[in-house]
Each structure stands twice: as structure tokens, then as C-alpha cells.
A and B are shown apart, each in its own frame.
Chain A
């Protein structure tokens, strides 16, 4: 009987469909990663030399006011207990209230994340649309002028300080030429003109059919997005060139050429097709980096995104906001990883 029960259990385990096993493993992996992320951030937040109590009460508060806020924040409890409370709240989707602006952190993130999402998405589109073809052509015409241009572009993209390029961009295209809008997501006359549905101004303006707001928002986003796009394309084009060179030196390419296949087909239908899996990782990483928020770009362009939100919170010891922002950024990384895995399965038959 015992044996039968044991074997029965074994059958149940063995009969689990693979997708359920994959799902359980994925969820387990996400949970462990998030727990680790929260733990590390929480500990860093507690040991860093910024006093959250002083941040709230100010330098000249009396000792009794200081002590009252110290207790109110639960800072008298052991670290592990504080962490336990925090995890419990996060499980209830409660990131707490920002210590500094008294608003729920989830509301703040819902306000700042769409700004970053909009900027990063446009940035990565620019990066892909220009960076991938540039990398492919640079590899196909190795040593040619276009290859040299691509390499210089990549080098400049890596070495030029982003704040300097941003300020120069603003000075030239906004200050001198007047082609684009200045700092901020939208001109002052268009603030709060369209109802916020998604938080993405371009999308909200389109949904509202208000094309004046759309044009104005586009004129504000195009410069910072191009700047981020440029830094992405520097990385994407360099990696694409490297992947393509590897493929173009493979024997199957020589075979294809010997068979008389056109150079276009050789490059795009054979060589490029085989770089897609690697490119997905590169693009996903670039996109994730942009979604973290580019702090300097956000500062220069007065873009109220998640990067400057987390940085300001960190410098102000607003740990609820820091932890909330970190959870969101961590989730983005994890989701993009999962997306990459899924795309691998689509593009790489060996992964199926």
C-alpha cells in the first residue's frame, strides 16, 4: 500500500506538463531574485550614512521630536523585523508612503515610470533602426568608409559625457535653431491639457485626438530620445558588426556565395538571420538600461523619470521610495529576461 502510494505520487510528479514545470521554476526564480534584490537594497539603505530621521525632522529639531519620528519609522526594531514588515507590505502591493513627500510610493512610481518608459522606448527604437543596419553594413563592408564611420560613432558614443552632449544638443537644437522643445515633457501651455490615461503623453494625446499636444510633446521628447538612441546605437551597432563578422566568416556563407546567391540574400537571409538570437540579448540589455532611467539625461532635460526619482530618494534617505523604485526596476529586468527567453524559443529551433 505504502509502495503504491509512493509510486502514485511519483506518477503525479512525472505527469506534470512541461509548461507547468517551466512556469513553477520561472516563478520560483523570480521570487528568489526579487527577495535577494530587496534584501540587498534594504541592507544598503540601512547602513548608508544618511539619517532618514534627520531628513524628515530637519537639523534643528529637538531630541524629543527626533526620538518620536525614530520610533514612528520603526527604526528601533531589529533589522530583520523591519525587513520582515517590509516584505509583508510589498506582498500586499504596498510600498509604503514616501517619507519625504507623503504620497504613496506606488502613486509616485505610476507617475514617473511612464515618463521613462516613453523616453526609453523611443530611444531604443532609434537605436535599433539605425544601429542594426549600420552594424550589418559595417561588417559587410569591413574596412570601408562606412565601417570607419560606424566605429567612430561607436567610439564617440562610448567616450562622450552624456551631460555634455545633452547640453550641447539643447543649446544648438533648442537654444539656437529652435527646432525642438526645451526641458520638460511638454510646453507649459500644454501641461495637463490631455487626460492621463496611460501616463505616456504621446499615447494620451493620440487617444484624445489632440495633435497639438502630440506635436509639442514630440518636439520635447525627440532630443533626449535621440541622445539615448545614440548611446544605444553605439553599443548595438558595434555588437551587430561583431556578430555579423563572425557569421560572414563561416563556411556556410562561403558555400552560399559559391552557389551564386546574391550578396543581399547572403547577408540578410543567412548571416543576419543567425545573429538574431544574440542581438535579442544585446537589445534587451540596452532597453533595460534605458528603463532604469538615465539620471543625467533626466536632469538636463528636466524629465521626471524613475532614474532621477530613485536618485533623489536615495540622496534624501527616502528608503520607501528607493525600495519601491528598485523593485520596479528589478521586475523590468526580470520581465525582459523572460521575454528574451521566449524570443530565443521563437528564433532558435535548438531552444524549442
Chain B
């Protein structure tokens, strides 16, 4: 539905609601949580393969991990989950986990170190899209059984070199770190696929919820695991219903037929906030909106020009208008709530300053092309930037295209400027540092399309080495400082104009407590929710 249609329907509903009142509000049962959410991005629920938001929500509630994040205290970082403790060898390359005793999978099978080893080996051997989260530690299909092994109640993982323990453990809290029931999975193996085909649509976990069903584009149903080692969740049943349209989600919420609406647009958020019995909760998510300048362009590679572009963004104007409630200003590559995140946002909208910088660089009558994917908010940001740039004497031609068209050119280093979004892959600062500020080989032949610095032909000028150093630093405070320093330098020198960080707004019935979408670092958790 286009923006006009959305506004029209939002306005119509708003008007009607303001002059009338709803029929007697229904209520979902006290032990049941009903959520309206867009779940059409789920392509698989195999944790070795799942890499989408809605799929990660399922995994977070169905599978246990060696270590995981507490939804009630995300700032504390990883905590023991299926592993009760861990020790790091002297050379810093081997971590030995001690498994929790007495925990069972939903099948009734005990959770063992052998299951944990199998799960991680499996993810490495299958080598699906998120496998890089593990393989970056030197695990390969060939060495997986030696580097990840179980002995009794212990699981040992040996990395190819010393890494910060927090880096390794943070990665193990990601979806790919989920521990699956080896016996159940292998009983469903077909043609040596390690149960991949079966696990795409079934589950074999030990988490607080059991998956009852996933009907694509329709619903996800879970029931509580009464044997969960952390205690049976208060919500005995969780139903996530696929409701695409924001206005429909709002009606369901205001009628009391659901407890949480997760995809209300700004108009419906504003309307629902006025309704009786509804509260709105904001959480910062990991997605960053940014503009990147291709350093192959002779003018865009000048340091003053890179600086000038950072003053050509109407940060506050956009935040307070079409991005209202959806994004906040953020000018660093680590999203707020991440380890090492910086709250410094030194750039503001300043045309005169930009003009001075452009003049200092000797740039006149610059004409550039900016590639934007066909998403409304991105196009609007592009247009705002186009207007500001025009005032500084820069002609910006906006090319709007599909993901295939724009991304293909971005990945091939062909665009002058790219306007897009980036979300972290796992809850460790390396996830973004390793792509924004890391580029060991800037040659075309390197073809490092996964690195944003490479896509923009940016030789990071020493930041690559600093990122390498931060990822092996074991002192947590020192590591935090290193990322803050890297970001300070990055803000000043990089060709990236990081502008905004996403906010997720959930609308809840006011009897729902302890709701968490997982902030920037993880996914939604249901087991701590009460009503």
C-alpha cells in the first residue's frame, strides 16, 4: 500500500475513532501472549541457516545456547545458559565450557556437550549464509571436528588465533550458536544434509518454548516448556499472527484481540497512543541509515569533501518529520546499546560550513549520482540530501532502483554515492567495525564485497590494524575504549556519513510487562513476559 493510501486510511480511522468509541474491549487469556507481526521474512527456522529478524525471534525462544543475553538486563552482556562456566587456555585459543547438568531437550533427550559440539560443527559444515559468524574464528568444514570437540561434560573450541573472549562469546549468543538435539536432528537426515531440510520447518531445541507450528505468512504458535531449566514461562502459549497492514494491527490491539502490535506506522502509533489501555514502548534497534562516498571518485576522495558531506544532512529536520519516532540521530558505526558504542554526534546541518570545506578542496560544480533502493524513507532522505547539496552547489542525481539493480552496482564499486541501511549480524562490536572500518586489501581483485569499506574503495588509513587489535583485546574496558577511539577517527576521516539509528515502537496492552524486542543486540524474548 502506498504512502497516500496509508495516510488516507490512517486519517480515516483516526477521525472515526476520535468521534466514537470501541465496542466492549475483549481480552486475551491471562496465560496467553498474542502478537501481531509481519513474519513474511521467515525463510527457514534452522538456526544454522536462519538470518532474518522474525526467524531469529523463534530461535531465541526455542533454542538454548552456551551463553545468552538476559532480556531483562541486556547491558550486562552474555551470561551462562547451557554452559554454566568457561575457562580460557593460556594461549587464549581454547575455551572450555562446562555444560549445565540435568537439562533436557523438548524431545526428552538430555542436553550434552556432544549436542553442543554437533550443533557448532554442523553450522560450520553446512556453511549457510550466517556461517561466517563462526568461520571467522578459523573453523572450517575440514577441521570442525578437531577444533570443536566434546569430552564428557566439557566442550572445547579452539580458534585459529587468540581473540578477545568477549568477541567469541558474543558471537555464540547469535542465532547460529543455538544448540540442537543431535539425536532428533540426525534421525531426520536426508542425503547427508545433517537434518537441514527437516530443521527448516521443525525445531529441536531446549529453550523456554516449544514450536507447535509455523505456517508461512500466517502464524507461529509456541507452547511453554514446563521443564525449562530457568522455570516454566508465565505465558503458556504464544501466538504470533502475520498481520501485514498497520491499520489492521491497530484495530486488533485496540479491540483487545491481541496483546502486542509490532508494526504500526507513525500515524497508527500516534493514534494508538491515545487509546485507552494501550502503551507504546520504544527500543533502539541495530539498523543504521548511512550515505557512503566512493573513493574512486576523484573529488569525493578529498578529505574536505568527505567532511563537507557530513554537514549536508538535515539530521534534526528529518528526524522530526518523516522519520519521527522511527529513527534517532546517530553518527557512529556501532549502534547505541552495543559494547563500545559512542554517543558522540558532532555533525549538524550547516550549509555554510560545507561550502567552506568544498571551497578549501577546490571543488566546484560537482555532479554526482546517488543510488537508492526503492523504499519510501530512503527516497525521502535522498531528496532531503539532494536539496541540501544543491544549496552547496552540488548537483545530486538520484537513481532509484530495486535491490538487484542498486546493490549490484554498489558491490561492483560503480556508484558515486550509495544511500542505504546496515544492520549488525551478531552482538559484538566487531560485526560493524569489521565491515565499516576494515579493508585489508583495497584492490579490485580482492573482491571483498562483504566489506563496506571495500565497496567504497576506502583504504582505511590504519583503522584496519586498529580493528584487528581491538578484536583480540581481552580487557573489556580497554576494548571498549579502543572501539570508541576507532569511531572517533572514523567519524572524522571515513567516507561514511552515518545518520540515523532505527527505533522499534511496540504498542502493547497496558497489562503486558517485561516486553523486550532485544534492542540492537538480539531478538524478541517471550519467556519473561507477564500479564
Most buried by B among A62, A175, A300: A175
The answer to whether A304 and B248 have CB atoms under 8 Å apart is: no
The answer to whether A302 and B244 have CB atoms under 8 Å apart is: yes
* List of B residues within 8 angstroms of A62 by Cβ: 132, 449-450
| In the complex, residue of chain B having the shortest beta-carbon distance to the beta carbon of A178 | B23
The answer to whether A60 and B450 have CB atoms under 8 Å apart is: yes
Contact with A along B406-422 (1 / 0, CB 8 A): 01100000000000000
With A50-B402, A101-B44, A102-B44 as given contacts, are A163 and B242 in contact (CB-CB < 8 Å)?
Answer: no
Q: Kindly state whether residue B5 has any CB partner on chain A within 8 Å.
A: yes
Q: At the interface with chain A, which of B8-16, B297-305, B436-444?
A: B8-16
* List of A residues within 8 angstroms of B213 by Cβ: 192
* List of B residues within 8 angstroms of A167 by Cβ: 9, 12-13, 247-248
* List of A residues within 8 angstroms of B23 by Cβ: 175-178
A residues 142-193 near B (Cβ < 8 Å) are 161, 163-164, 167-168, 170-172, 174-178, 182-184, 187-188, 191-192
The answer to whether A188 and B251 have CB atoms under 8 Å apart is: no
Taking a contact as CB atoms closer than 8 A, the residue among B8, B247, B401, B450 that contacts A61 in the complex is B450
Taking a contact as CB atoms closer than 8 A, the residue among A54, A171, A176 that contacts B407 in the complex is A54
The answer to whether B447 and A49 have CB atoms under 8 Å apart is: no
Most buried by B among A108, A184, A296, A299: A184
* Distance in Å: Cβ of B376 to nearest Cβ of chain A: 15
Q: What is the number of contacts between chain A and chain B, taking CB atoms within 8 Å?
A: 140
* List of A residues within 8 angstroms of B404 by Cβ: 49-51, 54
Q: At the interface with chain A, which of B88-96, B115-123, B154-162, B217-225?
A: B217-225
| In the complex, residue of chain A having the shortest beta-carbon distance to the beta carbon of B403 | A54
Q: Kindly state whether residue B34 has any CB partner on chain A within 8 Å.
A: yes
* List of B residues within 8 angstroms of A176 by Cβ: 16, 20-23
Q: Kindly state whether residue A75 has any CB partner on chain B within 8 Å.
A: no
* List of B residues within 8 angstroms of A182 by Cβ: 248, 251-252, 255, 257
* Alpha-carbon distance A164/B243, docked complex (angstroms): 17
The answer to whether B216 and A101 have CB atoms under 8 Å apart is: yes
With A54-B403, A302-B241 as given contacts, are A103 and B5 in contact (CB-CB < 8 Å)?
Answer: no
Taking a contact as CB atoms closer than 8 A, the residue among A50, A59, A175 that contacts B254 in the complex is A175
* List of A residues within 8 angstroms of B252 by Cβ: 182-183
* List of A residues within 8 angstroms of B405 by Cβ: 49
Q: Kindly state whether residue B201 has any CB partner on chain A within 8 Å.
A: yes
* List of B residues within 8 angstroms of A299 by Cβ: 1, 244-245
* List of A residues within 8 angstroms of B251 by Cβ: 170-171, 174-175, 182-183
Contact with A along B230-262 (1 / 0, CB 8 A): 000000000101111101100110110100000
* Alpha-carbon distance A304/B201, docked complex (angstroms): 18
* Distance in Å: Cβ of B240 to nearest Cβ of chain A: 11
Taking a contact as CB atoms closer than 8 A, the residue among B12, B197, B254 that contacts A168 in the complex is B12
* List of A residues within 8 angstroms of B43 by Cβ: 56, 100-102
Most buried by A among B127, B404, B405: B404
* Alpha-carbon distance A176/B22, docked complex (angstroms): 4
Most buried by A among B24, B252, B405, B407: B252
* Distance in Å: Cβ of A68 to nearest Cβ of chain B: 8
Q: How many residues of A contact B (CB 8 A)?
A: 50
* List of B residues within 8 angstroms of A61 by Cβ: 129, 450
* List of A residues within 8 angstroms of B8 by Cβ: 164
Q: Kindly state whether residue B114 has any CB partner on chain A within 8 Å.
A: no
The answer to whether B402 and A111 have CB atoms under 8 Å apart is: no
The answer to whether B403 and A309 have CB atoms under 8 Å apart is: no
* List of B residues within 8 angstroms of A57 by Cβ: 129
* Distance in Å: Cβ of A294 to nearest Cβ of chain B: 14
* Alpha-carbon distance A274/B391, docked complex (angstroms): 71
* Distance in Å: Cβ of A186 to nearest Cβ of chain B: 11
* List of B residues within 8 angstroms of A183 by Cβ: 243, 245, 248, 251-252
The answer to whether B408 and A51 have CB atoms under 8 Å apart is: yes
Q: Kindly state whether residue A22 has any CB partner on chain B within 8 Å.
A: no
With A63-B449, A184-B241 as given contacts, are A191 and B219 in contact (CB-CB < 8 Å)?
Answer: yes
Q: Kindly state whether residue A308 has any CB partner on chain B within 8 Å.
A: yes
* List of A residues within 8 angstroms of B403 by Cβ: 50-51, 54, 59
| In the complex, residue of chain A having the shortest beta-carbon distance to the beta carbon of B52 | A58
* Alpha-carbon distance A16/B408, docked complex (angstroms): 59
Q: Kindly state whether residue A198 has any CB partner on chain B within 8 Å.
A: no
Contact with A along B423-440 (1 / 0, CB 8 A): 001000000000100000
Q: Kindly state whether residue A301 has any CB partner on chain B within 8 Å.
A: yes
B residues 379-414 near A (Cβ < 8 Å) are 401-405, 407-408
The answer to whether A163 and B241 have CB atoms under 8 Å apart is: no
* Alpha-carbon distance A247/B216, docked complex (angstroms): 51
| In the complex, residue of chain B having the shortest beta-carbon distance to the beta carbon of A316 | B40
With A49-B405, A171-B16 as given contacts, are A188 and B447 in contact (CB-CB < 8 Å)?
Answer: no
* Alpha-carbon distance A49/B197, docked complex (angstroms): 29
Q: Kindly state whether residue B476 has any CB partner on chain A within 8 Å.
A: no
* List of B residues within 8 angstroms of A65 by Cβ: 127, 129
* Alpha-carbon distance A176/B15, docked complex (angstroms): 13
With A51-B403, A101-B42, A183-B248 as given contacts, are A304 and B217 in contact (CB-CB < 8 Å)?
Answer: yes
* List of A residues within 8 angstroms of B219 by Cβ: 191
The answer to whether A302 and B42 have CB atoms under 8 Å apart is: no
The answer to whether A163 and B1 have CB atoms under 8 Å apart is: yes
* Distance in Å: Cβ of A96 to nearest Cβ of chain B: 14
Q: Kindly state whether residue B139 has any CB partner on chain A within 8 Å.
A: no
* List of B residues within 8 angstroms of A177 by Cβ: 23
* List of B residues within 8 angstroms of A174 by Cβ: 251, 255
Q: Kindly state whether residue B17 has any CB partner on chain A within 8 Å.
A: yes
* List of A residues within 8 angstroms of B13 by Cβ: 167, 171
The answer to whether A188 and B239 have CB atoms under 8 Å apart is: yes
| In the complex, residue of chain A having the shortest beta-carbon distance to the beta carbon of B402 | A49
13 A-B pairs within 8 Å (CB atoms) are namely A59-B403, A61-B129, A62-B132, A101-B43, A163-B9, A167-B13, A168-B12, A171-B251, A176-B23, A183-B251, A188-B34, A192-B221, A316-B40
With contacts A302-B241, A304-B242 known, what are 11 further pairs, Cβ within 8 A? A50-B402, A62-B132, A62-B449, A62-B450, A101-B44, A102-B200, A102-B201, A171-B16, A172-B16, A188-B28, A302-B244
The 3 closest A-B CB pairs, nearest first, are A178-B23, A51-B404, A102-B200
A residues sitting closer than 8 Å to B (CB atoms) are 49-51, 54, 56-63, 65, 98, 100-103, 108, 111, 161, 163-164, 167-168, 170-172, 174-178, 182-184, 187-188, 191-192, 296, 299-302, 304, 308-309, 312, 316
